[in-house]
Amino acid sequence: MDIDRVVSNVFESIPEYFDDEIVDCLVKNKQLKIERIVSRGHTSPSTGWYDQEHDEWVIVLKGEAIIAFEDDVEVSLKTGDHLSITAHSKHRVKWTHHEKETVWIAVHY
């Protein structure tokens, strides 16, 4: 089968129980990386911030989350909400729902 025509579904292959956040790379090249992230109560370590070299765009396909920024701004995201995060904008995942999964798509460019 031609690899360019393989169809996958971002809601498939999510286990009922998982300890660690699930991060799957869907597409990657020199300019772009697209990830599917599945969280259930997962957060960033409280002692660190993401400080990325590239811009990032995220969308919550299912669930809820709160992104906190170093300047004390917090952004609540629910299903369908998306957010652009510029390079070197220090941020962390403060909260995701504990009882249901949050499914994200993160585009790093």
The model's pTM = 0.90
Integer Cα distance of 7 and 72 in angstroms: 40
Integer Cα distance of 19 and 42 in angstroms: 9
Confidence check: pLDDT of 1 > 60: no
Query: What tokens were used for 5?
Result: 């025509």
Residues 42 and 95: beta-carbon distance below 8 Å: no
Place of tokens 């585009």: 107
Q: What percent of the chain has pLDDT over 90?
A: 89
Q: Which domains are delineated in the chain?
A: 19-108 (2.60.120.10)
Residues 64 and 77: beta-carbon distance below 8 Å: yes
**Element holding 47 (H helix, E strand):** none
Query: What tokens were used for 2?
Result: 């031609």
Q: Which of 94, 105, 96 is closest to 48 using CA atoms?
A: 94
Query: What tokens were used for 98?
Result: 């504990």
pLDDT digits (tens, 9 = 90+) for 8-52: 999 999 999 999 999 999 999 999 999 999 999 999 987 889 999
